Amino acid sequence: EVQLVESGGGLVKPGGSLGLSCAASGFTFSPYTMHWVRQAPGKGLEWVSSISSSSSYIYYGDSVKGRFTISRDNAKNSLYLQMNSLRAEDTAVYYCARQTEAFDIWGQGTMVTVSS
């Protein structure tokens, strides 16, 4: 079965750090550009970051630029998001997603709560 499984979410204080992981299975991970998309409680989808197949091209949304770092390990079929200097407004469900022409496969999401 083709699937993405996120992990690493939790409660963190403002200014703190957290690392998310996304494990891919059921397909060949390495050729695909991968993304992180988040959704604050009761709000819409917000794109966070993308990384190309060989990590040559990396992009970030304006709201996380300079604080978040995306990476991947093709040998481990895994995508990562390192989040630093977290703010209350970063509270959201974080999804990883596979890009073909669109986002054709999504994980189930992992919740990140930033609160003191």
**Concatenated DSSP letters of 14-76:** TT--EEEEEEEESS--TTSEEEEEEE-TTS-EEEEEEE-TTS--EEE-TTTTTTEEEEEEGGG
Contact region with other proteins (CB under 8 A), list: 8-16, 72-80, 81-89, 105-113: 105-113
Cα(first)–Cα(last) distance of the chain, in Å? 39
Closest approach of Cβ 27 to other proteins, in Å?
A: 15
In the region spanning residues 68 to 97, those forming contacts with other proteins, defined by CB under 8 A, are 95
35 binds other proteins (CB under 8 A): yes
**Contact map string, positions 39 to 68, toward other proteins, x by CB under 8 A:** -----xxxx--x------x-x-xx------
Of 66 and 116, which has the nearer Cβ to other proteins?
66
Q: Which stretch binds other proteins (CB under 8 A): 10-18, 37-45, 68-76, 84-92?
A: 37-45
Count Cβ atoms within 10 A of the Cβ of residue 4 and give its class: 0-12 exposed, 13-18 middle, 19 or more buried: buried
Do 77 and 65 touch, CB atoms closer than 8 A? no
According to CB under 8 A, which one of 1, 41, 101, 116 is a site residue for other proteins? 101
Contacting residues toward other proteins, per CB under 8 A: 35, 37, 44-47, 50, 57, 59, 61-62, 95, 100-104, 106-109
